[in-house]
Amino acid sequence: MGEPGTAGQKETPLFTLHQELGGKIVPFAGYALPVQYPAGIMAEHKQTREYAGLFDVSHMGQVKLEGADRVAALEALVPADLAGLAEGRQRYSFFTNDAGGILDDLMISNQGDWLFLVVNAACKDADIAHLKANLKGEVTLTELSDRALMALQGPKAAAVLARLAPGVETMRFMDCKPVEIDGTACIVSRSGYTGEDGYEISVPAEAADALARHLLSAEEVMPIGLGARDSLRLEAGLCLYGHDIDTTTTPVEADLTWAIQKRRREGGGFPGAAVVQEQLAEGAQRRRVGLLPEGRAPMREGTVLQNDQGEVVGKVTSGGFGPTVGGPVAMGYVDSGLAAEGTALQAVVRGKALPCKVAALPFVKHNYFRG
């Protein structure tokens, strides 16, 4: 099944559609997914920034938590304030370990009498095992493996989706609620991974193909692959798990402390809280920053960063060409003393020390709809 090199990979409910559309299928996190379509990554990136793009993110894990203790039990594993999360709202958070490292990042929404979690594909099995092993009290976990997930992203996303589901245009960034689209019961959040306005749509697997085709029939929408998904999220300064954040990085180092609400900063009660609280008070030794090379050569993941004396002071964790920026962009970690915007560094690319500087994130302004 699938294309050469994707044998043994799982197929999403939209796999046949990807093939029909001429998607170049590659293995990604155990799935066969399109890296690009015939238009190419640059065109797909531009389409999402200017109009709207449709992404298949069905490889992500979708989890339902029910039971009287669901909020307290999950708060014991993540540093988010879930007790203060209103019904129909969503928060970004992360599972931490005892060292304050990040096991995975995820989205959590309050659906009234249950919590809806969306976790990364590569960490899905480990996350579910972690939840099952550590959730305490009266909690029931259900993996929603019979659902697809697609993201409609871009400035025209609201207008397109509102034709199929009037009212979604009034949702605010990080609202998440049940919505009927084309007669199908979906869960829709106004969020995404591009820095643009848009929606993520959880839909029953059997209805996914028809819904995707309906959305793609709009003149403002094109299918978008993994390549543009990566360049869009990099320009938006958003972390990719396993690259910009992992078990060796803390939320403070990763500049994600905005996702730890005041009650949890002060009260702790999550794995690694003592480490995180100490870093919040004293500062961390290193910090995730944006990086702009002076030339045209991209700085790829793993590129070593040096100071003027040639001493290693950090490394690149994500890098590539930013089509909207019009040049190479990167993110990485540097010693905290060098994390100020404008700090001059050198990136060692193919044995040559090339000048770069620390830049503010995001590279491209977020266009979220806050109402």
- Domain boundaries, position 217: 15-56+146-235
248 in a domain, yes or no? no
Instruction: Give tens-digit pLDDT for 192-230.
Output: 999 999 999 999 999 999 999 999 999 999 999 999 999
Quick one: 185 and 304 in the same domain? no
Q: Using DSSP bridges, classify how beta strands 102-110 and 90-96 pair: parallel, antiparallel or unpaired.
A: antiparallel
Quick one: 227 and 299 in the same domain? no
Q: Which amino acid is at 40?
A: G
Quick one: 201 and 303 in the same domain? no
Domain boundary among 207, 235, 263: 235
Instruction: Decide: helix, strand or coil at residue 30.
Output: coil
| CA-closest candidate to residue 202, choices 212, 187, 191, 189 | 187
Residue 1 pLDDT grade (very low, low, confident, very high; cuts 50, 70, 90): very low
230 in a domain, yes or no? yes
Beta bridge partners of 289: 332
Full-model pTM: 0.97
H or E segment to which residue 55 belongs: strand 52-56
86 in a domain, yes or no? no
What's the pLDDT at 16?
98
Say how many domains are in the chain. 2
Quick one: 353 and 224 in the same domain? no
Quick one: 301 and 200 in the same domain? no
Q: Is the dihedral of CA 199, 205, 211, 212 positive or negative?
A: positive
Q: If you compute the radius of gyration of the chain from its CA atoms, what whole number of angstroms results?
A: 21
Instruction: Give tens-digit pLDDT for 42-90.
Output: 999 999 999 999 999 999 999 999 999 999 999 999 999 999 999 999 9
In the chain, % of residues over pLDDT 90: 96
Instruction: Decide: helix, strand or coil at residue 62.
Output: strand
H or E segment to which residue 162 belongs: helix 157-164
